[in-house]
Structure 1
Amino acid sequence: MPLEHISDYKRPPRYMLNAHWETVIPSMFFKVKGDFYSRERLELEDGDFLDLDWIRGGSHKCMIITHGLEGDSQRFYVKRTAHFFKAQGWDVLAWNCRSCSGEMNRLPRFYHHGDTPDLHRVVQHVLGNGYQHVVLAGYSMGGSMSLKYLGEAPRDHRLKGAVTFSVPCNLRDSAVQLQARGNRMYEQRFLKKLIEKIKLKAERFEEVDASGVDELPDFDAFHDRYTAPLHGFADKDHFFREATCDRYFEGLDVPVLVVNAANDPMLGQACYPKAFAQASDLFHLEIPKYGGHAGFSIWRKPYSYMELRALRFIKEVLAL
């Protein structure tokens, strides 16, 4: 029954006074220096592309890192994980969802929480490079996408499991949490970035109408008007129902780790599936008291608890 009742992450640095500071300070101020990636463009069958950023060292093990909503491979948490596992002898692939690599993608659609066909294409590409052991790592949306992917269908035996952090396990519940008083700043920040992409797409595609887009009040309105129709969903409710990762947990056949802080301002109660973890031999859920959203900072260390916990899980549970 892999529900972790005791976490090794006890508290953040003292200057991080609450969950918002734990979330925002790393996002705004933490940096990972150096340009250690080698970029590859992966052409897709539908005419679009994905930009992949590699760290290759000749290992037979590869970690595939999926970033969060409106993130990319250059985000500090992705680069920090990539650098950390490079030092552990892993090759690393940090991929960018469509529209997130610094160049707008070619089609009207872009990406969403449940966009596992693109992740599948990335996994197949990595396996085609001869790796014997592959592990998924995902942050926030990237964690949701990784878990959904593993639960949808049996995967290649070389794909050993996943380590995920700050995961919106229930997408609808997370959306409700983002609309709560005190959390709207996160929703509005994401929404602003997505709206800018819609404006760029409207300049190229007649089917994308950007009129009145600046007046959209929240994610519900954005998903109804853009996410759903651009990605084949009937409406926002259909999107939330189909894209949420928790409906696929029963299909998991490899071990996964989910670390969600109890004070995460972007996660509601349905994002902590304790009952499922207690009944599962594969779903490892850890709920530290602190951590914020993708924070888990450690005083004066170039890594966070997330890298340390991922490494321990990979060694102890995945035996890699």
Structure 2
Amino acid sequence: MTNSTLAFVFPGQGSQQIGMLADAAAEFPQISSTFDEASSVLGYDLWNLCQQGTQEEINLTERTQPLLLTASVALYRAWQAKGGAAPAMMAGHSLGEWSALVGSGVLAFEDAVALVRERGRLMQQAVPAGEGAMAAVIGLDDTAVESACEAAAEGDVVAAVNYNSPGQVVIAGSAAAVERAIETCKAAGAKRAMPLPVSAPFHTALMRPAADQLAPQIESTVFHAPEIPVIHNVHAKPESDPQAIKALMVEQIYSPVRWTACVRAMAGSGIEQLVECGPGKVLAGLAKRIDRGLKAHNIETPAQLTEAVEATAE
């Protein structure tokens, strides 16, 4: 049963925490079985890593990406097992777009695990540690942030990379250029402009080598037409052709995440409720800032999941 006013959104890097999904795993066997599937692809115990490891370990991009994909897919399977309504649309923030592709039937979960592990490794490798940076800018409109980046570049790379909500934009690039852009944004009237604890300048031109290296692996993986439309980060539209989706997933690595536009596209198509399918509540918070009419649910705990299933039943 599909709820025509419901969309699922899947979080990206930054939502991971040691001990996440422990309560859900105690109630839903789908959590453990999904983590077991991922572990067999990765060659290490992913559940043990996220329960007994260190925050530092799970913050390594190569580990974060398969971990968050697995957590999101596990919760989606728990939702389905609980009899939750099928969404009419899906979207994912950055890495979360891969979770959306699995949920919509575009690719097999084990193939996605292998791809995102490689995606994380290549993205980490593309820029040596310390040479790239990201920063959050609060309280400036998109155009002002873009102008500040142009003024601060001075031949280096710095650009707006995550359009998260009106007045919240993440910038990224070479460390020195990001530092200059932070000062330029503050001078332009930003309420805050602060560096983020991220290991690489994601979604910039500096990531193009990673995209080029991942492209053959994406190309050789079987993609299907989506059973549920996915709104893509690159252009905030759905795509039905598997080859076009492959191209978008390569481009996504070095292109901005147009999250505000993605959420507005869903709301404009009749979506009234969002379920954030993954750990944390970042996307639910952003949704309320993008469109106050949207009702957002989180399903990280059994109680939240049960409540959201009931609230979104048609």
Q: TM-score, normalised by structure 1?
A: 0.31
Higher helix share: 2
Q: TM-score, normalised by structure 2?
A: 0.32
